[in-house]
Structure 1
Amino acid sequence: MSNWTAEELHKLDRIDEIRVAGRRKDNSLRTLTIVWHVVVDGSLYVRSVRGSEGSWYKGVVRHHEGAISWDGTTREVNFIPDDSVDDQLDTAYLDKYGNGPDTRAIINATAKATTLRLEPR
């Protein structure tokens, strides 16, 4: 269950990019990496355009904890694998980012396999 505020979701839905970082074993954060994101049904989602080989993705799924940053705001999050709304996410990515090659890469099977729902901690 998402506990983002309505204001956070509104801002997140309107901006093009966020930065994500996984948490290391020593509890420090990895390097923040820019990713595309979408908001669907009150939840925030990301995918790795490089699939499971993406370095940021490897970092966040190691402990499923980390942080995101946008417009001067940083939130601690859990990264939860969730393919339950993949078709809606594809539509949301196309609506938000257009139908160019970058968007097609984020809605292909390789990227879909990395769908993560971000829940604030």
Structure 2
Amino acid sequence: MTWTPEDLHLLDAAGELRIAVRDSDGSLRPEALIWVVRVGERVYVRSWYRRDTGWFGHAVRSGRARIRVPGLEAEVTVEDVGETSADVTAEVDAAYRAKYGNGAADSMVTPAAGATTLRLDRR
């Protein structure tokens, strides 16, 4: 399933996204509040300080989560794309700067944060 134009509008309008990662048994872990951006019809999130633990580590391992923003709740697959394409990393950096401003986004556009880029695909 792909993101609808309405989904993308709601994600653009949201300052933050709530993500609950699915455990191996299918249960949901506690939600984490994170920033979200999109590039075209693709949706991305990052972690600025942890790669292997917390919500991020669980998301990479399980590959599944539920997200929520006002007006939208969706099941997603999680794909780690942080180290696969310099072009994607640069586009996501630009999306973070455009949405959150240069000062606020500084911690999200470092090489370490870029390496944590996850693509969320609607299920």
Q: TM-score, normalised by structure 1?
A: 0.91
Write the deviation string for residues 57-76 of structure 1: whole angstroms up to 9, x where unpaired: 01111111111111153111
Equivalent position of 2:55 in the other structure: 56
In the TM superposition, 1:4-15 aligns within 5 A as 4-15=3-14
Structure 2 unaligned spans of 5+: none
Corresponding residue number in structure 2 for 1:88: 91
Quick one: which amino acid aligns to residue 43 of structure 2?
L
Contact 2:7/2:72, CA 8 A, preserved across alignment: no
Say which SS state the counterpart of residue 51 (structure 1) adopts. coil
Letter in 1 for 2:49: R
Looking at structure 1, the residues matched to 17 and 25 of structure 2 have their Cα atoms a distance apart, in angstroms, of 24
8 A Cα contact 2:81 2:119, kept in partner: yes
Contact 2:15 2:35 in 1 (8 A): yes
Contact 1:80 1:118 in 2 (8 A): yes
Aligned residues: 119
Structure 1, gaps ≥5 residues long: none
Q: What is the distance in 1 between the residues matched to 2:98 and 2:53? A: 24
- Name the residue aligned to 1:113: 115
Moved over 3 A (4+): none
| Cα distance per residue 1:57-102 (max 9 Å; x no partner) | 01111111111111153111000112431111111101110112x4
- Measure, in 1, the Cα distance between the counterparts of 2:50 and 2:40: 24
Work out the CA distance in 2 between the residues paired with 1:6 and 1:79. 20
